[in-house]
């Protein structure tokens, strides 16, 4: 399974639903809190070509985007394929 990272912040409902989906799929992920971890927001923006919205999800080297993008991949069946790679 590729490394899964999620940039998030406390109180973000979109972050919570994205994490719940990953947890339901038994995906181990690294959560990077952009409010608590120095440099995490700048790193997120660098890795995602300037994205400012949260969450930002990265699977392997692929920037997925936010929660809506993650759920679209789930609906299409592509999320399982990405996670199995």
CB 12 within 8 Å of CB 55: yes
Q: Is the entire prediction scored with pTM above 0.75? A: yes
The residue segments making up the domain with residue 20 are 4-84
Region for 72 from its dihedrals, namely left if φ exceeds 0, alpha if ψ lies in -120 to 50, beta otherwise: alpha
Stretch 61-72: mean pLDDT: 97
CATH number of the domain where residue 14 is located: 3.40.30.10
pLDDT of 69 reads: 98
DSSP class of 61? T
pLDDT tens digits along 2-60: 999 999 999 999 999 999 999 999 999 999 999 999 999 999 999 999 999 999 999 99
Does the structure show a pLDDT above 90 at 85?
no
Tokens representing 42? 């700048």
Cα Rg of the chain, angstroms? 12
Closest CA to 21 of 48, 59, 49: 59
């Amino acid at each position: 399974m590729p490394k899964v990272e999620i940039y998030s912040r406390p109180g973000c409902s979109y972050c919570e639903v994205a994490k719940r989906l990953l947890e339901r799929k038994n995906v181990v992920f690294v959560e990077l809190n952009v409010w608590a971890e120095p440099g995490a927001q700048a790193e997120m923006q660098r890795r995602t070509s300037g994205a400012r919205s949260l969450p930002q999800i990265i699977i392997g080297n692929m920037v997925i985007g936010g929660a809506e993008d993650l759920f679209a991949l789930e609906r299409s069946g592509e999320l399982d394929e990405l996670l199995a790679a």
